[in-house]
Structure 1
């Protein structure tokens, strides 16, 4: 159920005020013990287990939901695998950000429709449902039906969200620097700039329509995966019109009403798709939000949604990742090092012990690729092991440089695929999938 409609704050100072209140709710929920836990976890190289009351988490989520835009994206990412650092109750509260935001009031909705379609906008439809079926960080979705019987989903952008992206990123950067949340020794500005560019792409619905059509052509007539068709005559820079898709968010398959075979199959299909995006399509949908995948139990198909975060990958970068994957599978340490240097994970002149430590981390992170047979993501503690080893390298100063900012979204995609398989407690024969895509 969606929250009651509220206007979207549009000015930088008002958005900073809302963000400050959200941060205050989170800090109040942590309390003194939580701050001690964070400090101890950093000193002991282990993930923090944050104890925050569901009530404070609910307030934090509500603030982000009211803001929408870039800061709500932050909350969505926090919820992706929150059970590793948050209590299950708090992770469940934040999970709501992946599927719903606070919708805009009727007056703002009509204002957008009139601006995009004209005063007689309602004549374009046989039926239009004013109550949104979903609201996310950038827009909300309404069902509609055309006079020729097409059932549509209209993604309508929140007014002012596009104009607020720059200020949101600036506000987040200010908070990160003020609270010392960024990695020491690494300039986060290139990554914030890349995040800014990505969010501007996501807020251009005509560009998303083109991306959706391009991706649909790459996927072809896949029996297991589907992409809605765009309706160009009703698509504008602020409204994306496409076929109505049905199903439940993919992470619902973790519930007891679904069989293990369904979970394993869904995770396998999406793992394979992640590999095809990088190595075959050269187009990667980089938003790991689980709500971007709908599972239709009747047909068994997975419907893919939201292509605003689709990024074309340079052939040179694809080549580097292909070389890295092949070297890891073959156990070729020299090949792993060459690929890591090409990707910017290590420098050619770095001390050998630091290079070796980074290669160890890469091999550890690639455990599912190297494991023969079925890899049980639900039983794996790989996330914790990578975290501990990465934290130790961080404190040792191994991360003296950072890879190109455009790899940030690829890493987000890879991690999102891992988190989904883990959330579904799925078993995937990843070692067999990867060679087929290389």
Structure 2
């Protein structure tokens, strides 16, 4: 388990009105800062836009601090914005929000003790040889502690924040309401899809019983692997609000981007995770759809990668697998008509979409599948594909729009595959994507 940044203790606020007050306070602080900055600029003869005044580094710090204290759905939204916000949010704003992927305010000890006693009963301490009350990681829905049992097991104990599951829908409603304020989000950016995606994902991630089932299923499907592993679940200690697994040592996989790690290692790791994503889709029928880099821990001592967090695992029905297989063949062959047909089957294109909208979606899909058609290893480190895809998507949005939003399950699968490519780019890896796809197409 990686040592993420953890911040000073702060109780998790509960209740819709109290959480709305926290969020509203953040917006009020941002608006006050924007007003003061706007008056100052007007005095200097400038005419700044409201979005320029709201989306500043200082306001990003204020917002990130509030979200990290609230945890839950609002913090998850910040995480999604930081991961998906490349070239949408200003760079400084996206960078500061990215800190939400690495740490949250932790529960104060009395609140933590109350959760542990509620889940494990009084005298729970006797079950452990050691239990560290200082969390080794804290994120949007829970924090992780290291523990040792009397029988020699070293464990990672993931403890859900109190009230987080019950607050999801109200959090999303609060954020949707505040997102209508002018200047709070960039012009032309539609927050509804990411809010709905966050809502669905949070409900899945806070169901620790379902996550335990997914973890065990995934571990069995993966089997013995020379590079990848899934920590074992400990059912005797797990509850609906506590998930206990083997402790996994290591650093977040994106740390391999540092110059101290050789190219061959970065290539091998990125290829293994890209191949795993294809196995998830075409063999397992079960995909872990959260591509957060912290869900992959690299242990330099063993040279292995631990796969974490199966709260967002999604079953992929066989019929959908076959449509996606045909879509892969069509993209490989650059067959526009077959791409159009399969894209319509999964919801990327709607029946009432105009010809211009349809053509734009097909163009984007063919562009994004460039690595699939490349002969030999594709150099993600020197590719400008992400920039071209963003420009193409922006132009499509500005000129023709996107009439149809794909179903949520397709969006999550798409996000996972995009996340793997993003990791390959971060690691500056070289992968033969066509060779990896070939057995499945």
- Quick check: TM above 0.5? yes
Corresponding position of 1:44: none
Corresponding position of 1:263: 266
* Structure 1 residue 309 corresponds to structure 2 residue 312: yes
Which shows bigger deviation, 22-31 or 131-140?
Answer: 22-31
Is this contact kept in 2: 1:141–1:154, CA < 8 A?
A: yes
- Of residues 296, 316, 323, the one that matches 2:326 is 323
Is this contact kept in 2: 1:80–1:419, CA < 8 A?
A: no
For 1:56-95, list aligned pairs within 5 A: 56-80=59-83, 84=87, 91-95=94-98
Is this contact kept in 2: 1:186–1:402, CA < 8 A?
A: no
Corresponding position of 1:166: 169
Cα distance between partner residues in 2 of 1:157 and 1:310: 18
- Of residues 236, 251, 263, the one that matches 2:254 is 251
| Structure 1: tracts of 5 or more residues without a match | 40-49
Residues 67 and 51 of structure 1: is their aligned pair in 2 closer, same or farther, counting only changes over 3 Å? Answer: closer
* Structure 1 residue 207 corresponds to structure 2 residue 248: no
- How big is the alpha-carbon RMSD for the aligned residues of Structure 1 and Structure 2? 2.8
Corresponding position of 1:11: 15
Corresponding position of 1:223: 226
Corresponding position of 1:42: none
Cα distance between partner residues in 2 of 1:229 and 1:186: 40
Give the deviation of 1:89 after TM superposition: 5.8
Deviations 1:51-97 (A, max 9, x none): 733x4433322111101111111222233366645676655543332
Cα distance between partner residues in 1 of 2:22 and 2:232: 37
Cα distance between partner residues in 2 of 1:225 and 1:298: 14
Residues 147 and 296 of structure 1: is their aligned pair in 2 closer, same or farther, counting only changes over 3 Å? Answer: same
Give the deviation of 1:38 after TM superposition: 6.2
Cα distance between partner residues in 1 of 2:9 and 2:228: 34
For 1:228-243, list aligned pairs within 5 A: 228-243=231-246
Cα distance between partner residues in 2 of 1:131 and 1:382: 42
Is this contact kept in 2: 1:34–1:52, CA < 8 A?
A: no
Aligned positions, number: 426
Cα distance between partner residues in 1 of 2:268 and 2:27: 39
Cα distance between partner residues in 2 of 1:86 and 1:193: 19
Cα distance between partner residues in 2 of 1:299 and 1:373: 29
Is this contact kept in 1: 2:344–2:350, CA < 8 A?
A: yes
Is this contact kept in 2: 1:34–1:51, CA < 8 A?
A: no
Cα distance between partner residues in 2 of 1:185 and 1:164: 25
Corresponding position of 2:414: 411
- Of residues 394, 398, 403, the one that matches 1:395 is 398
* Structure 1 residue 130 corresponds to structure 2 residue 133: yes
- Of residues 367, 370, 376, the one that matches 2:370 is 367
* Structure 1 residue 284 corresponds to structure 2 residue 287: yes
SS at match of 2:381: coil
Is this contact kept in 1: 2:280–2:286, CA < 8 A?
A: yes
- Of residues 268, 271, 276, the one that matches 1:273 is 276
SS at match of 1:233: coil
Cα distance between partner residues in 1 of 2:30 and 2:420: 27
Cα distance between partner residues in 2 of 1:405 and 1:268: 27
Cα distance between partner residues in 2 of 1:113 and 1:320: 46
Is this contact kept in 2: 1:290–1:420, CA < 8 A?
A: yes
Corresponding position of 2:156: 153
Corresponding position of 2:56: 52
For 1:322-341, list aligned pairs within 5 A: 322-341=325-344
Cα distance between partner residues in 2 of 1:141 and 1:109: 11
Is this contact kept in 1: 2:238–2:244, CA < 8 A?
A: yes
Residues 280 and 149 of structure 1: is their aligned pair in 2 closer, same or farther, counting only changes over 3 Å? Answer: same
Which shows bigger deviation, 307-316 or 242-251?
Answer: 307-316
Cα distance between partner residues in 1 of 2:88 and 2:401: 24
SS at match of 2:151: coil
Corresponding position of 1:107: 110
Corresponding position of 1:46: none
**TM superposition score normalised by structure 2:** 0.89
SS at match of 2:130: strand
Residues 308 and 147 of structure 1: is their aligned pair in 2 closer, same or farther, counting only changes over 3 Å? Answer: same
Is this contact kept in 2: 1:133–1:142, CA < 8 A?
A: yes
Is this contact kept in 1: 2:67–2:78, CA < 8 A?
A: yes
Is this contact kept in 2: 1:79–1:91, CA < 8 A?
A: yes
